[in-house]
Every structure is written in C-alpha cells, then in structure tokens.
Amino acid sequence: MLILKTPAEIGLMRISSKIAAEVLAKLKKEMFPGITTGELDRIAESLILEKGGKPSFKGYRGYPASICASLNEEVVHGIPSDRKIKAGDLLKIDVGVYKEGFHGDVAETCAVGDVSLEAKRLQEITRKALYKAIEKSTTDNRVGDVSNAVQKVAEAAGYTVVREFTGHGIGRNLHEEPQVTNFGNAGTGIRIKEGMVFCIEPMINAGAAEVEILKDRWTVVTKDKNISAHFEHTIAILNGKAEILTSE
C-alpha cells in the first residue's frame, strides 16, 4: 500500500527531516581525523534527543546505533565503533530522525581531509545522480524515470550502481512504498503522485556493482573492495514537483 501524505502531514515531515539535516551538518563539523565513528554516533544521538526527536535507526530490525557510518569500501549500514577516521577516508553518514509521528532520512558522502581525485570524483558524481533524480521527481514522470536518472549519471561516468539496496517511501514508517531502485527504465513503474514522500539514495561503486554483508550482519561492502559513495534526501511531491525535506 502506498500512503500519500496531506500538506499538513508533509508539514510534520519537514520537522523530523530538518532535524536529520541539522544533525548531519553538525557531524560534518566534527569530522576531523582522529575522531571515532562511535563518537560521531554519540554526538548525533544526543543532538537528536535534545531537539525532541528519536533516532529512527536505533532498534530498527535490531540495528544497534543511531547513525550509520560507512568508510571507503563500505557502502552503507556501517555500525559506529571505536575506529578512528583518518585523512583520505571517504565517510558516508546516514541519519534518521523520528518526530511528530514521522521519519526523516538523509545521508551524505564526506571527504575526511584530502581524499584522492578518484574518491572526489565518485563523491561528486553520486551527488549529481541524487540531484538529477530529484529533478526527475515530478508528477509528469514515473518512478522508473527517477531510477533511470541515477543509473545514467553513474554509468556515464564509468561507475556501477548497487542493486541490492534501494530508496524507499517514508512516513510513519521508515520504509514504505514505493521502492526506488538505482537502476531501471525511463517511462516504467508507478506514476509519481501529489503527496508522495520518498527517499532517493544512490549507492554508486567505483568498481564492480557486487556487494556483500560483513559478519556483523549489517555493514554492506563492495566485493572488490573498491570505494563506494552514497547520498540520500527525503523529498515530498508538492505542486507537481519535488521539495527536499531534508534541508537545514
């Protein structure tokens, strides 16, 4: 079942989404070599609680932390730990916040200090894929147009998209319909409707598309250990086009 949101509900979703974006912005200011991903998690959790929200991820299917922090060849769902980040790392931070009965979900790939040109390029192409897909999120289009936009940007740059994890509708539940894959054919899938709220989250690999899950049962890594990037915004379809809810 696909749950459309009223303008009032979208108003509530702006609240949790804005907090998620603010927390991510704060983490970006703390992201210096030497800090651990666990410390970033604690900063995020206290900030979310301070703002009257709850971390969406903690306890979700048993997930043990408030954010996901994934380094380099880790694609998504990295569990914060006592591992220190260092200059040259590509760090993907994912933040989910629940407030007023609704979730907001945002993620960004960040460069710790100076990163390689290849890492920088992957980061920028993945950001571009997200924004291109947001542009395609209009009531004139279908979900396949959004998926296709991500795939086209990634593959034109010589990269591959992860197929096992996808974007998703969001609302009173963290994951709702529709599923928003990072690959697909333009003109296919369900029509984008007024009141739809969904997360677009390109996961793009520098090498091969294949991923595997580590023994911790969460961390998704590339099989070939090449680097990966991930960006995510929660968007709402209002007046026929996308409004980014996860902005500060």
Q: Which residues bind ligand MF3 (CB under 6 A)?
A: 57, 60, 63, 68, 77, 94, 96, 105, 107, 168, 232
Nearer to ligand MF3 (CB atom), residue 139 or residue 247: 247
Cα dihedral sign, 194-196-197-199? negative
Q: Rule CB under 5 A: is residue 242 a binding residue for Co ion?
A: no
Q: Where are the alpha helices (H) located in 31-110, listed in sequence order?
A: 37-50
For ligand MF3, the closer CB: 164 or 194: 164
- Looking at the Cβ atoms of 12 and 180, the one nearer to Co ion is 180
Tally the C-alpha atoms within 13 A of residue 8's C-alpha that lie toward its C-beta.
0
Taking the complex as a whole, the smallest distance from the CB of residue 68 to ligand MF3 amounts, in Å, to 5
Residue 168 C-beta: closest distance to ligand MF3, Å? 6
The minimum distance between CB 61 and ligand MF3, in angstroms, equals 6
Give the strands of the sheet with 220-222, arranged side by side: 74-76, 220-222, 211-213
CA distance 221 to 76: 7
Tokens for 4? 């459309």
Decide: 5 and 197 in contact? Cβ < 8 Å.
yes
Nearest-approach distance from CB 134 to Co ion, in angstroms: 14
One symbol per residue from 189 to 218: x for binding Co ion (CB under 5 A), - otherwise; what is it?
A: ----------x-------------------
Select 64 or 240, whichever has its Cβ closest to Co ion: 64
Identify which of 144, 244, 140 has the alpha carbon closest to the alpha carbon of residue 198: 244
Footprint of Co ion on this chain (CB under 5 A)? 105, 199
